[in-house]
């Protein structure tokens, strides 16, 4: 730890030889991960070396990789537990709105080999409209995914004059997951929850726009979206407009979150 008590990732990587666990810890980890090895500590050391991301939070390190998370006490270097990533998905609260700029930025598709845009890109009015004064209009609905107290993903809808707008009865989706947490089913879990929130608020359809070459097109199709239109967006990208039928009939209930 540094003098402010903040856990530094480097401390863990430089002290791997100090990793240890209890007999109960080893048994728990073997059981949770269905590990066949008797050398649980050796397995954990290799896992830390190959981790996608290590987050120091409170008194622990959380080490993520291959859809798993290993929890290590930062003071004693004891491996406490390990389990598959299991994000909690919940309805977005007003206190979560502060994270929307980050998730809006993460939602921007960067084709392979293309330059990574700076964060200022979200100030483009055509992009900023997805979060401007969020929570103030009907159709402003959302969910977040939380892992060990950290928000790692967000999905939200709005009825705004944006690119995927169809009409005022169809809220348009925006979604992203932090890069190290993609591909573990968190997006699917968030969307299924958001569909329920939309239905509970009386909506029967939701729309989106997505660049044709974004792998997320497959993800949306798997979740029941269908392509309804193809068009060029404001900067000339080829996009699909997609719609998902949520089932049920439209009611007038329009509570806000
Ligand atoms: C799209 C996204 C929200 C999906 O969430 P997820 O938790 O990764 O998705 P799941 O694990 O439930 O499903 C995996 C699917 O997500 C998509 N996906 C996975 N990694 C991705 C990535 N880096 N970028 C875009 N889509 C990705 C793929 O379609 C994948 O399905 P496949 O394995 O059949 O190719 C997430 O990957 C993401 O944030 N991507 C970058 C931002 C983005 O493209 N947002 C959509 C803008 S329209």
Estimate to the nearest angstrom the gap between the alpha carbon of 87 and the chain centroid: 9
Of the residues 111, 183, 195, which should be mutated to test ligand 1's pocket, given the most ligand atoms within 8 Å of the CB?
183
pTM confidence score: 0.83
pLDDT of amino acid 56: 85
Q: Are 209 and 163 in contact (CB under 8 A)?
A: yes
φ, ψ of residue 78 in degrees (nearest 5): -85, 130
Question: What is the number of the ligand 1 atom nearest to the C-alpha of 220?
Answer: 29
Residues with CB under 6 A from ligand 1: 106-107, 109, 175-177, 182-188, 210, 214-216, 218-219
Q: Which tokens belong to 16?
A: 């791997």
Domains of the chain: 9-84 (2.40.10), 88-245 (3.40.630.30)
Q: Which tokens belong to 12?
A: 């863990």
**Ligand 1 atom 42: the closest Cα is on which residue?**
107
Determine the distance separating the centroid of ligand 1 and the alpha carbon of 116, expressed in angstroms: 18
Question: What is the number of the ligand 1 atom nearest to the C-alpha of 155?
Answer: 3
**CA nearest 219: which of 173, 151, 168, 253?**
173
Residues 6 or more apart whose Cβ sits within 8 Å of residue 64? 51, 52, 53, 54, 55, 85, 180, 181
Determine the distance separating the centroid of ligand 1 and the alpha carbon of 39, expressed in angstroms: 34
Q: Going residue by residue through the chain (257 aa), what tens digit of pLDDT does each one get?
A: 343 334 456 689 999 999 999 999 999 999 999 999 999 999 999 999 999 888 888 899 999 988 899 999 999 999 999 998 888 999 999 999 999 999 999 999 998 899 999 999 999 999 999 999 999 999 999 999 998 888 999 999 999 999 999 999 999 999 999 988 888 889 999 999 999 999 999 999 999 999 999 999 999 999 999 999 999 987 888 999 999 999 865 554 554 44
pLDDT of amino acid 249: 59
For the sheet with 68-73, list strands across it: 53-57, 60-65, 68-73, 79-84
Q: Say how many CA atoms lie within 13 Å of 43 toward its Cβ.
A: 19
Q: Is 14 exposed, middle or buried (0-12, 13-18, 19+ CB in 10 A)?
A: exposed
Strand partners, 211: 239
Of the residues 216, 218, 225, which should be mutated to test ligand 1's pocket, given the most ligand atoms within 8 Å of the CB?
216
For the sheet with 141-147, list strands across it: 88-91, 141-147, 150-158, 172-177, 205-211, 238-245, 225-232
**Ligand 1 atom 9: the closest Cα is on which residue?**
187
DSSP state of 61: E
pLDDT of amino acid 9: 60
**Ligand 1 atom 6: the closest Cα is on which residue?**
187
Give the residue carrying structure tokens 């969307």: 191
């Amino acid at each position: 730890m540094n003098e402010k008590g903040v856990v530094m990732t480097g401390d863990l990587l430089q002290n791997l030889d100090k990793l240890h666990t209890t007999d109960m810890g080893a048994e728990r980890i073997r059981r949770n991960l269905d590990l066949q090895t008797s050398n649980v500590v050796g397995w954990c050391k290799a896992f830390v070396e190959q981790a996608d991301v290590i987050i120091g939070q409170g008194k622990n390190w959380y080490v993520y990789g291959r859809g798993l998370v290993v929890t290590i006490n930062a003071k004693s270097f004891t491996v406490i537990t390990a389990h598959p990533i299991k994000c909690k998905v919940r309805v977005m609260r007003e206190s979560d709105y502060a994270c929307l700029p980050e998730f809006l930025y993460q939602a921007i598709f960067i084709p392979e080999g293309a330059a990574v845009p700076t964060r200022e890109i979200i100030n483009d009015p055509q992009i900023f409209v997805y979060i401007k004064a969020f929570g103030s209009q009907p159709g402003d609905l959302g969910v977040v995914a939380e892992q060990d107290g950290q928000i790692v993903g967000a999905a939200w809808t709005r009825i705004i004059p944006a690119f995927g707008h169809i009409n005022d009865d169809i809220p348009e989706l925006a979604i992203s997951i932090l890069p190290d947490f993609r591909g573990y089913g968190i997006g699917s879990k968030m969307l299924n929850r958001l569909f329920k929130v939309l239905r509970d608020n009386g909506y029967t359809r939701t729309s989106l726009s997505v660049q044709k070459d974004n792998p997320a097109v497959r993800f949306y199709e798997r979740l029941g979206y269908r392509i309804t239109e193809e068009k060029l967006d404001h900067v000339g990208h080829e996009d699909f407009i997609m719609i998902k039928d949520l089932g049920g009939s439209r009611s007038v209930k329009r509570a806000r979150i």
